[in-house]
Structure 1
Amino acid sequence: MKIHDSKSAYDLIFKNVSRFIDLTDEEKELYKSLLKSGSAKRKEFVLRPGKITRYEYFVTKGCLKVYSIDRNGAEHVSMFAIEDFWTGDMASFMLQQPSTYFIKALEDSEFLMISKENYERLFEEIPKFERFYRNIYQRSLTNYIRRANQGISLTAEERYEIFLTKYPHIANRITQKDLAAYLGITPEFLSMIRSKMSKQ
């Protein structure tokens, strides 16, 4: 991963943070000093299973895919992270245990990263950041539970329609294969759903 710096990247993360907490100029500078910049080329891996997640990632450019592979070799996509999204493996990051996920760049991507050490220091230096990250994690958990329930109670077509409604800006940036892996169906079945919807 190449290291880079970008004023617009920091502007984006400060805007993200401001949805939940207000920062002084001094606090912004401290937060900025605890972040590291990184990038990944298309198809490059940011994380592989068996590695401990050293960072939480905030995407400032591009698209990352978080997924696992089952014993039959099938991909199961947990999320797509584009600009203004946080991503990573929360359990691996918090517990510092090996991850079970891949994180792969679907486009040339850039991100800001915070290490576990700096994450803990941030809470000591600016305690209100605990409220910010608590909101981030609560939203992540809520989305996970909602997706699990939808997988049980909704049809594939309904799940696809929800994805298009919730993430219209992502749908045209990913392949049919990746979207099918997110929905838990085959690319062929997704093609049938799309064909059916286009005729309605």
Structure 2
Amino acid sequence: MYSFTELWAMDLIQHIESKIKLNAGECAVINAAFKKEFYPKGTNLVQPDNRSPKIYFVEEGLIRLYYINRDGKDITHFFFGENNFTMSVENVYFNNPDPYGREVLEDSTLRIIHYKEFTDLFDKITAFRTFSFLVTIDMLKRFSDRLFSLQFQTAEQRYKIFTDNYPNILLRAPLGHIASYLGITQQTLSVIRGKK
């Protein structure tokens, strides 16, 4: 299973080759299709309710997926660290605005591709379709685990699972974002941390 941040960052091709076999020509095609861009900490890649068809791969850095609730409060939905993809499912599959924004929490190096160009790679490289399927299944599992956590676990249990699985996020993301991700107040998070 992927983590928010692997023990080491891989570039895009290393990451893909850790899941599927590619020849040098296929690697070159994929490498050319994904543009490399640098974003400084604090950059908003997209605002909530966007229509961005872009797919992002984090080579280095940390991205926060967030939404604005009915009260106008900013809520962290997910974190994406090194070796992770993020994209708008609402946009690319349903042609709806994406309710989530994406913010860069650290200086980050991203590989970016338009969804249409991404799917064009399926026709050029058969194994790339398999890779896409593996990434999709991984994301479904992660979001399913998150939903289960919010519905059935206590704040202390959510915090323990978070720190067990993603300890470096505590060092990289503001506590307010972590608290909202866990579905608790920052004060509650401080109390839980104080007990540890």
Aligned to 2:111: 112
Find the residue that maps to 2:191 and give its secondary structure: helix
* Identity across the alignment (%): 28
Alignment of 1:60 with 2:59, yes or no, is yes
1:95-135 alpha-carbon deviations (Å, 9 max, x no partner): 34321111011111110011122112101101221110111
Provide the rounded CA distance (Å) in 2 between the counterparts of 1:79 and 1:181: 10
Q: How many residues align?
A: 188
- Consecutive unaligned residues of structure 1, counting only runs of 5 or more, are 1-8
Structure 1 segment 1-200 matched on structure 2, within 5 A: 12-197=11-196
Structure 2 counterpart of 1:13, one-letter code: L
- TM-score when normalising by structure 1: 0.88
Provide the rounded CA distance (Å) in 2 between the counterparts of 1:156 and 1:83: 26
Determine which structure has greater relative contact order: mean sequence separation of CA pairs < 8 Å that are 6+ residues apart, divided by chain length: 2
- TM-score when normalising by structure 2: 0.90
Structure 1 counterpart of 2:79, one-letter code: F
- Quote how far apart the aligned CAs of 1:81 are: 1.3
Provide the rounded CA distance (Å) in 2 between the counterparts of 1:34 and 1:14: 11
Structure 1 counterpart of 2:11, one-letter code: L
Structure 1 counterpart of 2:50, one-letter code: K
Aligned to 2:4: none
Provide the rounded CA distance (Å) in 2 between the counterparts of 1:89 and 1:160: 27
| Residue pair 2:12, 2:31 contacting (<8 A) in 1 also | no
- Quote how far apart the aligned CAs of 1:76 are: 2.4
| Residue pair 1:68, 1:77 contacting (<8 A) in 2 also | yes
1:8-60 alpha-carbon deviations (Å, 9 max, x no partner): x9x61112112321000000011112111222221111011232122110111
| Residue pair 1:88, 1:103 contacting (<8 A) in 2 also | no
Provide the rounded CA distance (Å) in 2 between the counterparts of 1:31 and 1:163: 33
Over aligned residue pairs, what C-alpha RMSD do you find? Answer: 1.5
Provide the rounded CA distance (Å) in 1 between the counterparts of 2:63 and 2:146: 19
Structure 2 counterpart of 1:177, one-letter code: G
Find the residue that maps to 1:168 and give its secondary structure: coil
- Consecutive unaligned residues of structure 2, counting only runs of 5 or more, are 1-8
Provide the rounded CA distance (Å) in 2 between the counterparts of 1:108 and 1:136: 24
- Quote how far apart the aligned CAs of 1:154 are: 0.8
Does 92-101 or 27-36 show the bigger shift?
Answer: 92-101
